[in-house]
Structure 1
Amino acid sequence: MKQELEHLRREMQIKEKENKKLTSKVEVMEKYTVSLVKEWKNKK
């Protein structure tokens, strides 16, 4: 039982790390998109 809990906790930590990586990638993409849109509007 205790081992299962440890295993679950470890998996949750791994998932959390992956989620943080994903979140930061999404944030970077959003910033990039915003700057692209600004550039595009400036060119018009």
Structure 2
Amino acid sequence: MAEKFKFSLDKLLDIRREKEEESKRLFTESQREKRKIEEKI
């Protein structure tokens, strides 16, 4: 049972890491867009 629990915990951590990467990427993209818009003004 402990093995099964460890597996699901690892899976959870992987999902969290993926979500963090995704949000980091989205954040840098939005920063870039913001900079573009600010340059136009």
After TM superposition, the score normalised by the length of structure 2 is 0.72
Residue of 21, 26, 42 corresponding to 2:28: 21
Between the aligned partners of 1:17 and 1:10, the Cα distance in structure 2 is 10
Give structure 1 stretches of 5+ with no counterpart: 35-44
Aligned-residue sequence identity (percent) comes to 15
Between the aligned partners of 2:12 and 2:25, the Cα distance in structure 1 is 20
Flag as ranges the 4+ runs of structure 1 deviating above 6 A: none
Residue by residue over 1:17-44, the C-alpha shift from the partner in whole angstroms, topping out at 9 and shown as x without a partner, is 111100100000111122xxxxxxxxxx
How many residues align? The count is: 34
Q: Which has the larger radius of gyration?
A: 1
Output the aligned Cα RMSD.
0.8
